[in-house]
Amino acid sequence: MPNWNEVIAEIHQTRQLHPDHNPLDLVRRKYLKQVSEITGRNTIAYYSGWLQKPTARDTAVNDKDKSGLMLTIHRLDKSKGLDLILHTPGGDIAATESLVDYLYSMFGKNIRVIVPQISMSAGTMIALSSSEIIMGKHSNLGPIDPQMGGLACQAVINEFKQAKEDIRKNPHAAALWQVIISKYHPTFLGACQQAIEWSEKMVSKWLEENMCADDTSIVENILKTFADHKKQKSHARHISKRECEEIGLKIGSLEDNQDLQDAVLTTHHAFMHTFSHTASVKIIENHNGVAYVENSVPQPPQPQ
């Protein structure tokens, strides 16, 4: 398997051999095609450049991504199913629900998710909608507890509960809690509760109807692992392949197929190099080289 530096060397060599073409595209698509040839399935890479461009817009899952999926799914043989290579920080819950519903309408439940490095938050929700998640020893998923304005919804609810209990025990604490709770607008608590119920109901349904259809009794424990803020402590926590296996998720190991592992990880390196050396912040691309690309928009200079 070409390592990180060897992929860079191949990109430079490709530039010399094909000066009229973008070498990043040629190398990336070469290995993405290999993934599909090895599995015999449709392959779409759904990649965000948030690691390279943490302040850029449109790196998160959003409604514009539907256009990318529509473009890359068009003309594919749907009977071959889909392997979705996923690398994302997550994003909007409503967009996530819509994207999964669309994928189901195209491929039924014949969808696998491959996680070369990390798929967090709403990305984890997409992974949990699949029939199987293929991970390496280095791969991670993340908690799915909803966030609002950078705040964990469950943490907000817990804070309100603590305030009520403290004030009940010591009415003089009300003044202190007033300062803390006043940072939330009047409907914020209800919105947090609804977001939690929405996300858990959505993921529970996907698990029961697809990955866990043969044993729905494990769904509750899976949700507890991924959705319980008290258990995970932080929305940024990285959940390992081993822990995913222990709670009953259907996890395939990249290490079980050396050819597939080589193709997937080299594809991953090629995407990372693309984000590092171009203005791209999101790429949705299929094994035939059809791609939807979002580029970062330069920000106007700010007054000093």
H or E segment to which residue 265 belongs: helix 258-277
Mean pLDDT of the chain: 91
Q: CA 54, 22, 80, 138: dihedral to nearest 10 degrees?
A: -40
Summarize the confidence of residues 275-301 as an average pLDDT.
Answer: 90
Choose the final residue of a domain: 185, 210, 232: 232
pLDDT band at 1 (very low <50, low <70, confident <90, very high): low
User: Residue 184 gets which letter from DSSP?
Assistant: S
Summarize the confidence of residues 101-105 as an average pLDDT.
Answer: 98
Summarize the confidence of residues 167-188 as an average pLDDT.
Answer: 79
Choose the final residue of a domain: 232, 252, 268: 232
Summarize the confidence of residues 79-97 as an average pLDDT.
Answer: 96
Q: Which carries the bigger pLDDT value, residue 208 or residue 149?
A: 208
CA distances from 116 to 213, 218, 241, 268, 275 (A): 25, 25, 11, 7, 16
Looking at the structure, do residues 53 and 90 belong to the same domain, yes or no? yes
Looking at the structure, do residues 250 and 194 belong to the same domain, yes or no? no
User: Residue 299 gets which letter from DSSP?
Assistant: P
Q: What are phi and psi of 278, to 5 degrees?
A: -135, 180
**88 DSSP β-pair partners:** 119
Looking at the structure, do residues 255 and 107 belong to the same domain, yes or no? yes
Looking at the structure, do residues 196 and 244 belong to the same domain, yes or no? no
Integer Cα distance of 155 and 242 in angstroms? 27
Q: What percent of the chain has pLDDT over 70?
A: 95
Q: How many domains does the chain have?
A: 2
Integer Cα distance of 88 and 50 in angstroms? 8
In this predicted structure, the answer to whether residue 302 has a pLDDT above a threshold of 50 is no
Looking at the structure, do residues 17 and 116 belong to the same domain, yes or no? yes
Looking at the structure, do residues 16 and 96 belong to the same domain, yes or no? yes
In this predicted structure, the answer to whether residue 3 has a pLDDT above a threshold of 90 is no
pLDDT band at 298 (very low <50, low <70, confident <90, very high): low
For 41-70, what is each residue's pLDDT tens digit? Answer: 999 999 999 999 999 999 999 999 999 999
**Contact status, residue 132 vs residue 250, Cβ threshold 8 Å:** yes
Q: Each residue of 127-138: b (16+ CB within 10 Å) or e? A: bbbbbbbbbbee
What pLDDT does residue 76 have? Answer: 98
Which CATH number goes with the domain that contains 68?
3.90.226
Looking at the structure, do residues 118 and 61 belong to the same domain, yes or no? yes
User: 20 in helix, strand or coil?
Assistant: coil
Choose the final residue of a domain: 232, 259, 293: 232
Looking at the structure, do residues 286 and 225 belong to the same domain, yes or no? no
**How many residues belong to the chain?**
304
In this predicted structure, the answer to whether residue 186 has a pLDDT above a threshold of 80 is no
Nearest in space to 189 (alpha carbons), one of 217, 166, 162? 162
Q: Which carries the bigger pLDDT value, residue 87 or residue 182?
A: 87
**Contact status, residue 32 vs residue 43, Cβ threshold 8 Å:** yes
Domain carrying residue 279: 1-142+238-304
Q: Which carries the bigger pLDDT value, residue 67 or residue 175?
A: 67
Looking at the structure, do residues 133 and 216 belong to the same domain, yes or no? no
**85 DSSP β-pair partners:** 45, 114
pLDDT band at 304 (very low <50, low <70, confident <90, very high): very low
For 215-265, what is each residue's pLDDT tens digit? Answer: 999 999 999 999 877 776 778 899 999 999 999 999 999 999 999 999 999
Looking at the structure, do residues 115 and 133 belong to the same domain, yes or no? yes
